Amino acid sequence: MRSITSLLGIVGLLALGGIAFPRTASAQEHSYTSPKVDYTINLPSATWKLTDEPDEVHQHTEFIYGDRNDGYLRIRKEALEQGLTVREFARRDQDQKTRYLPGYVDGKEEPFSGRLLGMTLSYEFTERGKPMSGRTYYLQGDSSTIYVLRFTGMRDKLLRIRNQTDLIARSLRLK
């Protein structure tokens, strides 16, 4: 009985310690915004580095997670045709942009909620003989706008940072 009480006390102290110091988990988190984009995102780790911002030619923002094979993110604002659902847009986008990658294999389709609602599509492919995976978040900004967050990386490495990809997508907010 005494050992159960001691164990519950230790568990309680650990739980209170987690509540009292919640900032340690996000101490490295930083935000990205720019006058060139109409959104803000939170990056959960200093390992995420900005590599490209929108300009007259390219209308997307790019980040890498250490190395491009470890994690690559491209964010693009797209027009949503009137009457088209997020799911229909996502399927069309996948048919046009990823389905023809070498070794393409369709993955899971899931609803997604964060600051903006939408869905995710996952897939696998090969690049130079390496097993790769992709996870694309389609987030509806308004009735005519979709934000597409396309993550790619080596299959095992992208899987390891899935919590970060979800956090980044959940943090997207409009200015």
- Whether 19 maps to a domain, the answer reads no
On whether residue 96 sits in a domain, the answer given is yes
Structural contact between residues 46 and 30, judged by C-beta atoms closer than 8 angstroms: yes
* Number of domains the chain contains: 1
In a domain, 7, yes or no: no
In 3D, which of 151, 137, 135, 136 has the Cα closest to residue 70?
A: 151
Q: Could you tell me if residue 82 is inside a domain?
A: yes
Structural domain for 103, as ranges: 28-174
Does 26 have pLDDT greater than 60?
no
The whole-chain average pLDDT of the chain stands at 87
Q: At 59, is the pLDDT very low, low, confident or very high (cuts 50, 70, 90)?
A: confident
**The two structure tokens encoding residue 139:** 């987030």
Give, in order, the Cα–Cα distances in Å from 128 to each of 26, 125, 154: 35, 10, 11
Is residue 50 in a domain? Answer: yes
Residue 74, domain CATH: 3.40.1000.10
Residue 93 has pLDDT above 60, yes or no: yes
